[in-house]
Amino acid sequence: MKEINVDGGTFVFDGCNTVKLAEKYGTPLYVMSENMIRSKCREVRRDFIDKYDHVRAVYAGKAFLTMTMCKIVESEGLGLDVVSGGELYTAAKAGFPMENVIFHGNNKTPGRFN
């Protein structure tokens, strides 16, 4: 999969003309490829989860977490790693199965787990 290329001097990301994106949404602009994210999730599944017994892989929510990202990660069969109440809230609002969420880190009070 070739997500990044140059077409006629214009940077194209996953089929999207970045100049047109900047004109429409302004700059700075962060652009992510759902195709690329899903492809990487599938690589992890293929290389680890499907290959070895008793293995699970989790996406680190601290990298970038929105409800849409939660839905993508869950649909690709990965779990979710969260370290804050905000990340946990986002996962819950997205309908991410809590049995597939790892909530860790220091300074967690018992009230955080209720």
Tell me: the pLDDT tens digits for 17-55?
999 999 999 999 999 999 999 999 999 999 999 999 999
Cα-Cα-Cα-Cα torsion 86, 92, 98, 103, nearest 10 degrees, comes to: 0
Q: List, for residues 92-110, the tens digit of each pLDDT value.
A: 999 999 999 999 877 777 7
pLDDT at 40: 96
Report phi then psi at 16, rounded to 5: -105, 130
pLDDT at 114: 61
Q: pTM (2 decimals)?
A: 0.83
**Domain edges within the chain:** 1-31, 43-108
Beta bridge partners of 12: 5, 17
pLDDT at 106: 76
Asked whether residue 1 carries a pLDDT value surpassing 60, the answer given is no
